[in-house]
Chain A
Amino acid sequence: NAGVMQNPRHLVRRRGQEARLRCSPMKGHSHVYWYRQLPEEGLKFMVYLQKENIIDESGMPKERFSAEFPKEGPSILRIQQVVRGDSAAYFCASSISPTGSNQPQHFGDGTRLSIL
């Protein structure tokens, strides 16, 4: 029973390029969450999606960042025109139903994004 799968594990981009991060939730999970972890900090919520719908994007920067979770295929976090400050670890989590005390989120191993 595979867990949350994220790829790539490491991604290097030059300033101005686009970064695409992929996340396949656990089997049977239709709720996906993206978090960003800056060096020496805790994780910060970015966006919550449920198949084909964005439920909460209150943590997402207004520009250059977008997320989708299509009916088929993985969830994608897309960062356009990357800047040095986008360097971070990006984590995806999934749950079988909306997160509550009985439905914890299961995390992937993250994508480490480095901007040259």
Chain B
Amino acid sequence: AQSVTQLDSHVSVSEGTPVLLRCNYSSSYSPSLFWYVQHPNKGLQLLLKYTSAATLVKGINGFEAEFKKSETSFHLTKPSAHMSDAAEYFCVVIHGSGNTGKLIFGQGTTLQVKP
């Protein structure tokens, strides 16, 4: 069965410093992976998706993630944090091998950005 584990429930960085949000996955298949962001009282916005075409995936707002099969990881990074990046971030995997429709969410990482 597919699953994702977000290794940090809370990450705090200073504005202008790098961001690293960690995610490990477990999958019997070649996984389809996503990162979503949720701002307070809002829905989820897709940041980026891993399509197996390239291991380094670039997303919106300067975020990127690298798929490392050997480490079963899909960590999210950004070179320089902005105050507007403060939000909840979810690492997500698709259940099963095909188009099942079911997304499996990690527990989420709250990103705090200090001025």
Contacts and interface: CB of A to CB of B under 8 A. Distances in A.
Interface in B95-111: 95, 98-108
Interface in B28-48: 32, 34, 36, 41-46
Contact of B52 (A98, A101, A105): A101
Given A4-B43, A104-B49, A41 B102 contact: no
A56 B100 contact: yes
Interface residues of B, number: 27
B88 to A, nearest CB: 9
Contacts of A110: 41-43
A44 interface: yes
Contacts of A17: none
Contacts of B55: none
Given A42-B90, A91-B43, A48 B102 contact: yes
Contacts of A43: 44, 90, 103, 105
Contacts of B41: 109-110, 112
Tell me whether chain B's interface is mostly helix, strand or loop, or mixed.
Answer: loop
A25 to B, nearest CB: 13
Interface residues of A, number: 33
Contact of A106 (B46, B95, B98, B102): B46
Contacts of B34: 104
A80 interface: no
Nearest to A109: B43
Given A91-B43, A109-B42, 18 more contacts: A4-B43, A33-B101, A35-B105, A42-B90, A42-B105, A43-B103, A45-B103, A56-B100, A93-B103, A95-B101, A98-B98, A99-B103, A100-B94, A103-B99, A104-B34, A105-B103, A107-B43, A109-B43
